[in-house]
């Protein structure tokens, strides 16, 4: 078994690049969030005017607090990402969501029993791709309250 002694564990595992790390980095505001957002049912933290109080602390975040989302908004000088001209076709249009789901299903299989759940999940994925690009399988980013609210109230899912 010549050459086997040179093998080291994990030597062929991919490493997270600095560019990927910067893709998922958030504003310093996220690091300073405290439980007051959860205990206070008002949306004092909302700067866009479209957020609603959510069940968990991580969900109580405004689109203006997330760097990649703010960049997308600043190109059009908008108060809220849900007002962006690209938001509706990317995240709410039924035909776009069906097409995106076909791609997802081809890669990962179909594990949705409910069409509404399928559209909602696909819309969340589309939003992340729109703002961050492809992040990878286990990389998660917070979704702004206004986005979650718009997607969950979207009438085109029916």
Q: How confident is the model at residue 11 (pLDDT cuts 50, 70, 90)?
A: very low
Domain ranges for the chain: 52-158
Q: For 95-137, how does the pLDDT look when each residue is reduced to its tens digit (9 = 90+)? A: 999 999 888 877 777 777 777 888 898 999 999 999 999 888 7
Q: For 17-38, how does the pLDDT look when each residue is reduced to its tens digit (9 = 90+)? A: 555 555 555 444 444 454 556 5
Q: For 51-99, how does the pLDDT look when each residue is reduced to its tens digit (9 = 90+)? A: 999 888 888 999 999 999 999 998 888 999 999 999 999 999 999 999 9
Q: Which residue has the higher pLDDT, 10 or 6?
A: 6
What residues contact residue 94 under an 8 Å CB cut-off, 6+ apart?
A: 119, 156, 157
What pTM did the predictor assign? 0.72
Residue 158's pLDDT is what?
A: 46
144, 153, 158: which is closest to 72 by C-alpha? 144
User: In the chain, where do the E strands start and end?
Assistant: none
């Amino acid at each position: 078994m010549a050459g086997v002694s040179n093998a080291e564990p994990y030597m062929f595992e991919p490493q997270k690049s600095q560019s990927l790390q910067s893709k998922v980095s958030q504003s310093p505001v996220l690091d300073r969030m405290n439980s007051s957002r959860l205990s206070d049912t008002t949306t004092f933290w909302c700067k866009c005017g479209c957020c609603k109080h959510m069940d968990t602390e991580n969900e109580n975040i405004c689109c203006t607090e997330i760097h990649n989302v703010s960049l997308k908004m600043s190109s059009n000088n908008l108060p809220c990402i849900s007002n962006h001209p690209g938001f509706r076709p990317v995240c709410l249009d039924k035909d776009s969501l069906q097409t995106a789901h076909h791609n997802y299903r081809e890669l990962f299989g179909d594990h949705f029993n409910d069409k509404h759940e399928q559209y909602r999940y696909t819309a969340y994925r589309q939003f992340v791709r729109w703002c961050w690009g492809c992040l990878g399988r286990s990389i998660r980013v917070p979704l702004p309250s206004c986005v979650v609210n718009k997607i969950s109230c979207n009438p085109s899912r029916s």
